[in-house]
A and B are shown apart, each in its own frame.
Chain A
Amino acid sequence: QQKVQQSPESLTVSEGAMASLNCTFSDRSSDNFRWYRQHSGKGLEVLVSIFSDGEKEEGSFTAHLNRASLHVFLHIREPQPSDSALYLCAVSTTGNYKYVFGAGTRLKVIA
């Protein structure tokens, strides 16, 4: 069964510094990856989706996928205090309608 783990559990960065989050998955057939953000007390909003090795940029968010090493990263460029939230990685396989989520990384951006 697919296992998705995220690290670190929590991360504090200064405003404007790059933030890097890691997601590790176990099923090598996975080909559908998303990063979501969840502000406290709110639902999840999708940030970036990636389906093949390499990078995908959406605004200040860049996902980097390396399927051989079973990693997908999220880099947040010049984060603001408003980016303080829980960041969740979701993994799936085309044709499988189940999505497995990691436990999340709680990001705090300080001014």
Chain B
Amino acid sequence: EAAVTQSPRNKVTVTGGNVTLSCRQTNSHNYMYWYRQDTGHGLRLIHYSYGAGNLQIGDVPDGYKATRTTQEDFFLLLELASPSQTSLYFCASRDRATETLYFGSGTRLTVL
């Protein structure tokens, strides 16, 4: 089973702050995803990538940048954090054979 590790587990920042969320997967999956989860909205796709150096725009990309530095590592960047970005963020990788997403444990971000 895929192993997806996110860090930090919790993060508090202030409005205008700079935040980087990290994700590493160790099963050589090509596709990786960043989602945010908010009550009443389910999971919404922010960005995804199919390999190092690639970035695809998701459904709610405004205010977020992302970078895939290696096959394993995918980062989500909030350069000017706003309270509306307070959320639970999940990273996932996709198993090509089964097309199943495997998720990390999430990062809870609070923007004051």
Q: Which residues of A contact B (CB under 8 A)?
A: 1, 4, 6, 32, 34, 36, 42-46, 49, 88, 90, 92, 94, 97-104
Residue B99 lies at the interface, judged by CB distance under 8 Å to chain A? yes
Q: Which residues of B contact A (CB under 8 A)?
A: 4, 31, 33, 35, 40-45, 48, 50, 56, 58-59, 90, 92, 94, 98-106
A90 touches B99 (CB 8 A): no
B99 touches A32 (CB 8 A): yes
B100 touches A103 (CB 8 A): no
A43 touches B103 (CB 8 A): yes
Residue from the list B31, B42, B94, B105 in contact with A88, Cβ < 8 A: B42
Instruction: Given A32-B99, A42-B105, A44-B90, verify A98-B58 contact (CB < 8 Å).
Output: yes
Q: List chain B residues, Cβ under 8 A from A46.
A: 100-102
A88 touches B99 (CB 8 A): no
Instruction: Given A101-B43, A103-B40, verify A92-B99 contact (CB < 8 Å).
Output: yes
The 4 closest A-B pairs by CB, nearest first: A103-B42, A101-B43, A43-B103, A101-B42
